[in-house]
């Protein structure tokens, strides 16, 4: 076989694959086609089992075998529609998924929250940068590629849907639950970046769910613990919070997750969560915005629901409101019983139930579950920790680097003068420090603990000489980079003093925390690196060693000094 023939075959193969991909209908398009498999499964379901298809149960692989077995029993006995996985490990989850699928006559739709990939829930997997950092990235193509990679990871361990991206516009710096999970405060930036991520996942064969409708970005209450209330006008919601949802619905988002929020202007019923509100779910989302895809509740065991609605009543109200999938019912057996009673009492019609069941079954068909699901148990860890994925993580980190203040500071750094590196917030040497000492060999390093005493700080300050190049790496060592970085008063005073001495700052923390550090605006240069992870520290080090030109733009306004869009 000659080379020209082989080349021709390869070209034809690529063209065929591309054409097949182009012809693959989206989930929204597939809903119009009514696949025969969907009808054949639907016709075999009893009323009880139809209801069960709409309930998704919580699962973990970091809890006891007894817990895992109890979930399996619930799946088998109640014939539930799907599973939402939380914390654990990828290999354990793949094996447990295989076990759960074997217990279910109708294949389970398996999902999880993966806003920054599998690493949001699972150990030994890849975590991409948080959405706050991605909001700084100017190259949308990188986010699309991230979506493709996340889709590969989810599918490799037997999952079919990612409850992401978060498209909330985070315009409240005090938001305790969204915050760094948002692409930022600008509705256009949020819509643009989240669309790139979403389209990558869906083109990669993964169902998605944008959240938290109709917008959880401007609240200072966490709906896990209470029911937030939004007291905005309809015009404000329509022009701001709803904007990313409307844009991504136009682009074919497969699913929308509803938040637990009380919004009087949309539904004046006292203490009514949006998840249970017919005016919000059906009136606004389905009728006004024309959304045809899967409508998914946020977890039904959250206080935003259970504080006022208990014992299966919430699940009934959710379906009446227009929900398709009810996540994590407090008691699925009780919920099924209550929903059956509601049908008998004509509070909800079988037509309403049937509509949602067909949407769930169509999602399963789109995900390939019309064929018995298979999970290859070999080489799972290697397959979800691909070198190309790790390279993309580093690319995204580098693209997010945001330089505030002048370029002159970093440009002036020279190996000829002594460099003093002060790691603030950690007692151990940092990756950032280790990366730059190779270039600046005439350097000394100090670690200042987050609660360092005045005496310990004074001992460090005495080591700094006139003419030294001062670099501060401020590191938030917490698991999640929220607000209120835990630094003692003496440590904050040191940051103020060193900033006034022309120090240069690498800020490995949520940018909102810049507002809590008086005087930091006096620093000669500030590189915002958003979070503590090694990939961020390597990216920031590349700026200080002059190997990388930062291109990121601040996705939020911190104060009057540091505003949305800043970045040199």
Strand pairing class (210-213; 207-208):
unpaired
SS3 call for 422:
strand
Integer Cα distance of 394 and 392 in angstroms: 5
Output the pLDDT for position 428. 92
Integer Cα distance of 375 and 398 in angstroms: 35
CA end-to-end span of the chain: 56
Integer Cα distance of 529 and 132 in angstroms: 10
Strand (E) or helix (H) holding 188:
helix 187-203
Predicted TM-score (pTM) of the model is 0.94
Output the pLDDT for position 308. 87
Integer Cα distance of 550 and 529 in angstroms: 10
Asked if the bond preceding 165 is cis, omega within 30° of 0, the reply is yes
Output the pLDDT for position 303. 86
Neighbours of 364 (CB within 10 A): 25
Nearest to 403 by CA among 504, 559, 526: 526
Output the pLDDT for position 23. 62
Provide the residue-wise pLDDT of the chain in tens; the chain has 568 residues. Answer: 444 443 344 433 333 333 334 468 999 999 999 899 999 999 999 999 999 999 999 999 999 999 999 999 999 999 999 999 999 999 999 999 999 999 999 999 999 999 999 999 999 999 999 999 999 999 999 999 999 999 999 999 999 999 999 999 999 888 888 899 999 999 999 999 999 999 999 999 999 999 999 998 888 777 787 888 888 899 999 999 999 999 999 999 999 999 999 999 999 999 999 999 999 999 999 999 999 999 999 999 888 888 888 778 999 999 999 999 999 988 899 999 999 999 999 999 999 999 999 999 999 999 999 999 999 999 999 999 999 999 999 999 999 999 999 889 999 999 999 999 999 999 999 999 999 999 999 999 999 999 999 999 999 999 999 999 999 999 999 999 999 999 999 999 999 999 999 999 999 999 999 999 999 999 999 999 999 999 999 999 999 999 999 999 999 999 999 999 999 9
Integer Cα distance of 554 and 544 in angstroms: 19
Torsion sign (Cα): 249, 152, 150, 125: positive
Please check whether residue 295 is in contact with residue 322, taking contact to mean a CB–CB distance below 8 angstroms.
yes
Please check whether residue 208 is in contact with residue 366, taking contact to mean a CB–CB distance below 8 angstroms.
no
């Amino acid at each position: 076989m000659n080379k020209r023939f082989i080349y021709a075959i390869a070209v034809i193969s690529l063209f065929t694959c591309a054409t097949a991909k182009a012809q693959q209908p989206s989930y929204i398009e597939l809903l119009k086609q009514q696949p025969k498999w969907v009808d054949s499964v639907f016709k075999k379901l009893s009323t009880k089992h139809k209801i069960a298809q709409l309930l998704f149960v919580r699962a973990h692989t970091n809890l006891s075998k007894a817990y895992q077995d109890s979930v399996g029993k619930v799946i088998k006995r109640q014939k539930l529609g799907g599973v939402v996985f939380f914390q654990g490990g990828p290999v354990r989850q793949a094996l447990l998924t295989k076990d759960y699928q074997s217990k279910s006559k109708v294949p389970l739709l398996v999902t999880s929250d993966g806003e920054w990939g599998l690493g949001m829930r699972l150990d030994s997997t890849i975590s991409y940068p948080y959405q706050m950092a991605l909001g700084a990235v100017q190259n949308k193509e990188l986010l699309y590629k991230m979506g493709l990679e996340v889709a590969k990871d989810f599918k490799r361990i037997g999952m079919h849907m990612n409850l992401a991206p978060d498209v909330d516009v985070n315009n409240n710096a005090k938001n305790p639950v969204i915050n760094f999970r948002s692409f930022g405060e600008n509705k256009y930036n949020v819509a643009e970046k989240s669309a790139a991520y979403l389209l990558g996942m869906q083109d990669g064969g993964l169902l998605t769910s944008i959240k938290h409708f109709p917008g959880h970005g401007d609240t200072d209450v966490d709906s896990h613990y209470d029911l937030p209330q939004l007291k905005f006008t309809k015009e404000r919601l329509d022009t701001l919070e709803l904007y990313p949802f409307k844009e991504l619905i136009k682009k074919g988002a497969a699913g929308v997750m509803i938040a637990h929020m009380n919004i009087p202007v949309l539904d004046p019923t006292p203490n009514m969560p949006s998840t249970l509100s017919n005016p919000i779910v059906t009136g606004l989302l389905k009728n006004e915005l024309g959304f045809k895809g899967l409508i998914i509740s946020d977890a039904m065991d959250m206080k935003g629901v259970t504080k006022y609605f208990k014992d299966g009543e919430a699940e009934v109200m959710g379906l009446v409101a227009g929900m398709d999938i009810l996540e994590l019912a407090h008691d699925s057996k009780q919920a099924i019983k209550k929903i059956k009673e509601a049908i008998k009492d004509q509070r909800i019609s079988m037509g309403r139930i049937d509509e949602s069941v067909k949407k769930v079954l169509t999602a399963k068909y789109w995900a390939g579950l019309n064929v018995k699901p298979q999970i290859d148990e070999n080489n799972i860890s290697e397959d979800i920790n691909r070198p190309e994925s790790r390279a993309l993580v580093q690319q995204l980190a580098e693209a997010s680097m945001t330089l505030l203040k002048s370029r002159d500071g970093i440009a002036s750094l020279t190996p000829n003068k002594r460099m003093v590196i002060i790691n603030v917030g950690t007692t151990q040497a940092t990756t950032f420090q280790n990366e730059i000492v190779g270039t600046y060999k005439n350097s000394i390093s100090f670690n200042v603990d987050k609660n360092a005493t005045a005496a310990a700080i004074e001992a460090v300050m005495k080591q700094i000489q006139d003419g030294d190049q001062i670099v501060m790496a401020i590191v938030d060592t917490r698991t999640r980079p929220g607000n209120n970085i835990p630094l003692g008063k003496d440590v904050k005073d040191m940051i103020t003093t060193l900033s006034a001495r022309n120090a240069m700052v690498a800020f490995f923390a949520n940018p909102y925390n810049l507002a809590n550090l008086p005087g930091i605006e006096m620093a000669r240069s500030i590189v915002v690196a958003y979070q503590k992870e090694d990939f961020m520290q390597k990216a920031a080090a590349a700026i200080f060693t002059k190997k990388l030109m930062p291109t990121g733009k601040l996705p939020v306004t911190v104060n009057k000094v540091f505003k949305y869009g800043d970045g040199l």
